[in-house]
A and B are shown apart, each in its own frame.
Chain A
Amino acid sequence: MSLIHFQILSAALFSIGIYGVLARRNAVLILLALELMLNAVNINLIAFAAYGELAQAATGQVIAIFVITVAAAEVGLAMAIILRLFRDRSSVDVYDVDVMKW
């Protein structure tokens, strides 16, 4: 088991997350896929922290902590937006969100 295993896993998870973001209609589900992507990044970071130079190990884990933090904040805000969206048009289907046309 070496670094490359974790890296490939991270890449796979990231790709699955991308598919989810691009191919889902429910805004909530898009957010869930987004979380997958963030976690993939985190795996990568922690793997580097574990297998790299000792002096930089802290960097990897600290940045991972920050990623989790920002992810949490973003989830909160995103949910607020989704609630607002739902309240205004009774639907969370991103198919109907096309006001950016003009």
Chain B
Amino acid sequence: MNLSLVVFYLLSVVCLGGAVGVVMSRNVVHAALLLLVSLMAVSGLYLLLLAEFLALVQVLIYGGAITIVVLFVIMLTRAQEFRSMSANPQWRLAIVTAFGVFVLLAAAIIKGAPTETVRQSLGFKELGNSLFTDWAVPFEVASLVLLVALIGAIVIARERDVE
């Protein structure tokens, strides 16, 4: 039992607890905020995995952009008026399916039997190098994706009388 393991468990509890809150909460706003909590825990896990850059990216993007967008949409769709809605008619089957997926994945993982215990760190320099040389094309495509998403969002969400 060392420090990193304790931290891991703490972060896992927060992460999973937040996730459960997201999927079970009756209040939409609470769900959104719990998502934020969960994702911050994930960021902490990234740090544990010696991926500092990604931890930062996670905080910036998820905590900064996505949560704000979600909260805006919640506000715009007056979700608080529909507070009574929580679960689908098919929630029982959903639980079974989710459990099935978990069992499947766990089985696959245990079968794989990974034994590594040594973490390594990737420096910024190497990451940046890799991003702009080996992964240059996907990088450009990713920026295109963002552009398309931007334009698409505007087009879809436009007011109808604006032609």
Q: Which residues of A contact B (CB under 8 A)?
A: 1-9, 11-20, 22-26, 28-29, 31-33, 35-36, 39, 42-43, 46-47, 49-52, 54, 57-59, 61-62, 64-66, 68-77, 79-84, 86, 91-95
Contact = CB atoms under 8 A, between A and B. Distances in A.
Contacts of A72: 61, 65-66, 146, 149
A19 B79 contact: no
Contacts of B20: 16
A50 B98 contact: no
Contacts of B31: 29, 32
Nearest to A15: B102
Contacts of B146: 69, 72-73
Please list the 8 inter-chain residue pairs (A to B) with the smallest Cβ-Cβ separation, ordered nearest first: A20-B23, A73-B149, A58-B130, A22-B94, A11-B105, A19-B98, A15-B102, A23-B94
Interface of B: 2, 4-5, 8, 12, 15-16, 19-20, 22-23, 28, 31-32, 35, 38-39, 42, 45-46, 49-51, 53-54, 57-58, 61-62, 65-66, 69-70, 72-74, 76-77, 79, 82, 85-91, 93-95, 97-99, 101-102, 105-106, 109-110, 114-122, 126-127, 129-131, 134-135, 138, 142, 145-146, 148-150, 152-157
Contacts, number: 246
A69 B23 contact: no
A17 B19 contact: yes
B17 to A, nearest CB: 10
A46 B35 contact: no
| Residues of A contacting B: mostly | helix
Given A51-B116, A65-B131, 12 more contacts: A15-B99, A22-B94, A23-B23, A39-B39, A42-B54, A43-B42, A46-B49, A50-B119, A57-B126, A62-B138, A65-B54, A69-B142
B101 A13 contact: no
8 contacts: A4-B114, A15-B99, A15-B105, A36-B23, A42-B42, A58-B126, A80-B157, A83-B157
Nearest to B121: A50
